[in-house]
Amino acid sequence: MSRVMVIPPFINGAISRVQQAACILEASQDGILITDEFHRIVEVNEAFARMLGVTEHSLLGQPASATLLNGDSENLAQGIIASLGAPEGRWSGQLKLRTATDQPVFVQAIISTIRTDARAPDRHVAICRDITPRVRREKELRQQANYDPLTGMANRRMLSDRLAQSIRRTRFSGEPFVLGMLDLDRFKPINDRFGHDAGDEVLCEVARRLSGSVREEDMVARLGGDEFVILLRHCQSEMQVFDRLLSLIKEPIPVGKNGERAQVGASLGLTRFDMDKPIEGEQLLREADQALYYAKTNGRDRVAWFDDLQISVADRAAGFQSLFWSQSQPERTQREE
């Protein structure tokens, strides 16, 4: 006579809950990761493995931090672990995860500590939603808002922000900086002879040379056309720096597919900002522009300082007064006679 095994209701309920949890794990469109008390992966769902482009089995036993691709992943992992060990046992934020192809995937993650009783070890559950398309779109919008689409240099908007920051920093620290406006010489003949595509190649190469000649803390921006702005910190009036920039731009630039070479020059107008100067960014740009105009109208391929231009204007005014006085003297003497 066969015997029928009766399963108690509470065991049936427990099995049912386990089955439901397993179904939820696999049915979820979000990636789910479960770790043990040592933060080693004990279970993942298919969505998480697919997100990383790997198999579920390959992740088991790995430390959860191995999936991170953030620049400071070790400190980030320690911060997450500290949050999970706190009484609330919860961490949320954006993570950059490592994939099989080394292309990052961005997720919005919620990680919680699951505590049952004193005899059972803690578990940690991470629910990760793929937000990569949104992150990339936001990056594209920032790029469009702050960078020149042709050269990749900062645009006028970013320059204005950076210039305002530099002015505030100088007024706080007393450390001056130099602002330069650079305009290419003999650029129009490049467009006329080789075409606008070649002109774009020249602009991109000039931008590359300029950005490669300044320090990381400095800035090169393109205002449009063939006009660039250079913001140099820790620099006051070292002419060799600016002469080197102009010499670098003069070097021939390959254009087109036939190995032809184009050559341009540049004029550079400079102004210096220190804490005693009671002006703002737009006024400073106008000073650099006036110095640039002076360089362009006095031979091109040269550097002009706004301060020297002011002295020159004063000298010319004084000279004009002297000439006027000397020319009027004989007339007055004649009248007196």
Query: Is residue 212 included in any domain, yes or no?
Result: yes
194 contacts 140 by C-beta, under 8 angstroms: no
Q: Which segments of the chain are extended strands (E)?
A: 31-35, 41-44, 90-97, 105-114, 123-130, 177-185, 219-224, 227-233, 253-255, 260-262, 265-273, 303-305
Query: Is residue 9 included in any domain, yes or no?
Result: no
- The region of weakest confidence among 4-8, 72-76, 119-123, 124-128 is 4-8
* Mean pLDDT score of the chain: 83
Instruction: Supply the CATH number for residue 101's domain.
Output: 3.30.450.20
Same-domain status, 92 and 195: no
Number of domains in the chain: 2
The label of the residue with tokens 């070790």 reads 74
Mean pLDDT score, 227-256: 86
pLDDT of 313 over the 60 cut: no
pLDDT grade for 72, boundaries at 50, 70 and 90: low
Same-domain status, 175 and 302: yes
Same-domain status, 310 and 171: yes
Same-domain status, 43 and 155: no
Query: Is residue 330 included in any domain, yes or no?
Result: no
pLDDT grade for 4, boundaries at 50, 70 and 90: very low
Looking at residue 320, its pLDDT comes to 37
Could you tell me the pTM of the whole model?
0.65
pLDDT grade for 310, boundaries at 50, 70 and 90: low
Query: Is residue 296 included in any domain, yes or no?
Result: yes
Query: Is residue 332 included in any domain, yes or no?
Result: no
Looking at residue 277, its pLDDT comes to 83
Query: Is residue 15 included in any domain, yes or no?
Result: no
* DSSP string over 161-215: HHHHHHHHHHHHH---EEEEEEEEES-HHHHHHH-HHHHHHHHHHHHHHHHHHS-
Same-domain status, 231 and 184: yes
Looking at residue 75, its pLDDT comes to 86
Tokens of 155: 């645009």
Looking at residue 263, its pLDDT comes to 92
Same-domain status, 158 and 248: yes
pLDDT of 210 over the 90 cut: yes
pLDDT of 330 over the 50 cut: no
Domain that holds residue 216: 147-320
